Amino acid sequence: MQAAGNIISAIASTPTDRLSDSAQANLNTVGLALQAVGGGLETEGQGTPFSLEYIGNALATIGVLEDLTAAVIEFPDETDTTLNIQGNLLQALGSAIAAVDETQDSTTVGQLEGFIGNVIQTIGSVIQVIGIKVQSAGSQQDQDDNEQTNEDDNQDQADGQNSQQNQVGSYMKWNQQNGSNDQNQNDQSQKEGQNLIAVGSWIQAIGAVIAAIGQQKEEMHELQLGIDE
């Protein structure tokens, strides 16, 4: 379930013209919900409470819940960004702790897949954090530029006199050209951020699938041996 949720979220984060923004947002919500439920069930199913694996899964689940909260509740952009960054950092930390736990398991069946899968998930989460920061920086700069443009326009209107029309016109023409360049740079930053988020999401999804395979192998082997970890 957790791996399926990661895949759905990765699909939702991938820039495409085939899905509307609302459809992608809904897909992301479904994916995050599946991850949260799957992570909660996996944490609850741990035979050894407060083991490294238990703590890692719990932290990752809390991180997913932060992302889910940002997805379903309308917060200011700054709050959304903070929640998403914190959520992905918690997921990265949780996956890293779970990877360490894999090296301490009493059984080696599925250990390699579990370790590699969790490490890959950690990398994916970190890449998403970088992408969120890049995207947020572009959005914030875009907002600042718009505010500055409005202030300049108001100032031009206040200072506009017949004797200064040519100077003002030249200034406004330069300002529009400069603003267009800034807008292109901001748009590029936002696209780069979106691409990084998509790449990180897919890396995390791949890691989740590998870790799930390892977890399944490990649980089947432990069941045969009568081990409960």
Whether residue 41 contacts residue 71, with contact meaning beta carbons closer than 8 Å, is answered with: no
Domain positions in the chain are 2-137+198-225
With CA atoms as reference, report the closest residue to 68 among 84, 53, 52, 55. 84
Count CB neighbours of 152 within 10 A. Answer: 14
- Percent of the chain that is helix, strand, coil (3-state, to 5): 85, 0, 15
Pull the structure tokens for residue 70. 């940002």
Q: Mind listing the pLDDT tens digit for each residue in 30-80?
A: 999 999 999 999 888 776 777 898 999 999 999 999 999 999 999 999 999
Count CB neighbours of 81 within 10 A. Answer: 19
Q: Tokens 């700069």, residue?
A: 141
Cα angle 218-1-94, degrees, rounded to a multiple of 5: 65
Give me Rg for the CA atoms of the chain. Answer: 24
The rounded distance, in Å, linking the Cα atoms of 58 and 40 is: 7
Using DSSP's 3-state secondary structure scheme, residue 118 falls into: helix
pTM more than 0.75: yes
pLDDT tens series, the chain, 229 aa: 899 999 999 999 999 989 899 999 999 999 999 999 999 998 887 767 778 989 999 999 999 999 999 999 999 999 999 999 999 999 999 999 999 998 887 778 899 999 999 999 999 999 999 999 999 987 776 565 555 555 555 555 555 554 455 454 554 454 555 556 667 777 888 899 999 999 999 999 999 999 999 989 988 887 887 766 5
